[in-house]
């Protein structure tokens, strides 16, 4: 029987340490991402069920991302900790698709939210918003009658305008408003209701001095909702960038764990790679 040389023993110990380290690290990282997916899913469910949250643009993507992270984290955790090669293979395959999906979602989010923003109102603390300043994709979505009816009902249920309708003229000069309050709870500042014959903003004719009417049918109200969505999408896109860097790091470690697991299942997990001269192992070059 051939005895191992000192160099082979050192290589064996070195590979064993790398094997244990990579599997331990990916197990811990996936445990953290698994735990992190719970509040993501919880936030999506809360947004879907809460009557005070009107940004349904984010509900479905949030839930989908949360459930995907939960599933792949659980798969990667099992594969790394119990040395299941096929589980790690599935984990790495789904992970690369998730990275691509997140990258596409991030780019799309930045593209559709570059336009928009408020317009300063002289002498006022708040800003006003115009529907035509937002991207065509967002405008098409918010102008859909069925979707807008859902958002309108949500705003009414949230009582966003309950305090604004009792403001005094001094309050309008000294207090700030959210985009939805600015667009839905008052007529545009350019409106003149003193019997002028000049052509005014179309929203001026849609304003109703009724708690259930106000300016909920105005384009300025739709623009206020889009501004809220735009701000949240900016936050979500920034979070996606952080998650992308994190997932790419986990994917790299996962490749090492998968290679170590495959080597542990072969007849030569340590020492020299016994490569066939003509056809080397399929995972050698990888």
The three-state secondary structure class of 128 is: strand
| 101 or 186, greater pLDDT | 186
| 17 or 36, greater pLDDT | 36
Mean pLDDT of 274-283: 46
Rounded to 10 deg, the angle between the 85-112 and 59-81 helix axes is 160
CB 155 within 8 A of CB 216: yes
| 124 or 16, greater pLDDT | 124
The pLDDT, as a whole number, for residue 67 is 85
Band the pLDDT of 257: cuts 50, 70, 90.
Answer: low
The pLDDT, as a whole number, for residue 134 is 93
143-199 pLDDT tens trace: 999 889 988 988 888 888 988 888 888 998 899 999 999 999 999 998 888 877 788
* Helices and strands in the chain, H and E counts: 9, 2
CB 258 within 8 A of CB 87: no
Look up the pTM and report it: 0.72
CB 105 within 8 A of CB 257: no
Band the pLDDT of 271: cuts 50, 70, 90.
Answer: very low
The pLDDT, as a whole number, for residue 19 is 55
Q: Does residue 2 surpass a pLDDT of 50?
A: no
At 127, phi and psi to the nearest 5? Answer: -115, 160
| 14 or 231, greater pLDDT | 231
The pLDDT, as a whole number, for residue 241 is 82
Question: What is the dihedral angle through the alpha carbons of 143, 144, 149, 152, rounded to the nearest 10 degrees?
Answer: -30
Q: Does residue 28 surpass a pLDDT of 70?
A: yes
- Of 16-25, 131-140, 142-151, 260-269, the poorest mean pLDDT is in 260-269
Mean pLDDT of 110-137: 90
Q: Does residue 51 surpass a pLDDT of 60?
A: no
37-39-40 Cα angle (round to 5): 60
65-89 pLDDT tens trace: 778 878 877 877 776 667 666 666 7
Band the pLDDT of 272: cuts 50, 70, 90.
Answer: very low
The pLDDT, as a whole number, for residue 22 is 59
Which of the residue ranges 83-87, 220-224, 231-235 has the most confident prediction, judged by mean pLDDT?
Answer: 220-224
* CA distance linking residue 128 with residue 78, whole number of Å: 52
Number of CB atoms found within 10 A of residue 114's CB: 12
């Amino acid at each position: 029987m051939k005895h191992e040389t000192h160099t082979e023993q050192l290589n064996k110990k070195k590979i064993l340490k790398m094997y244990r380290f990579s599997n331990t690290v990916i197990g811990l990282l996936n445990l953290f991402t698994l735990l992190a997916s719970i509040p993501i899913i919880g936030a999506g469910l809360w947004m879907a069920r809460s009557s005070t949250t009107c940004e349904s643009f984010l509900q479905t993507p949030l839930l989908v991302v949360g459930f995907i992270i939960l599933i792949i984290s659980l798969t990667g955790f099992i594969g790394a900790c119990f040395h299941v090669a096929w589980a790690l293979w599935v984990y790495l395959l789904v992970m690369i698709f998730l990275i691509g999906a997140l990258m596409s979602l991030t780019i799309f989010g930045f593209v559709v939210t570059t336009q928009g923003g408020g317009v300063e109102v002289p002498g006022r603390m708040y800003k006003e918003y115009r529907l035509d300043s937002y991207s065509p994709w967002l405008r098409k979505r918010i102008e859909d009658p069925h979707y807008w009816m859902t958002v309108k009902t949500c705003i009414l249920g949230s009582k966003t305008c309950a305090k604004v309708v009792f403001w005094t003229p001094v309050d309008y000069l000294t207090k700030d408003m959210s985009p939805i309050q600015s667009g839905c709870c008052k007529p545009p500042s350019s409106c003149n209701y003193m019997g002028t014959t000049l052509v005014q903003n179309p929203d001026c004719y849609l304003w109703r001095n009724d708690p259930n009417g106000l300016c909920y049918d105005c384009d300025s109200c739709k623009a206020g909702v889009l501004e809220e969505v735009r701000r949240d999408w900016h936050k979500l896109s920034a979070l996606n960038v952080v998650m992308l860097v994190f997932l790419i790091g986990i994917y790299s470690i996962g490749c090492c764990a998968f290679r170590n697991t495959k080597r542990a299942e072969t007849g030569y997990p340590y020492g020299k790679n016994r490569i066939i001269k003509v056809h080397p192992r399929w995972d050698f070059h990888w």
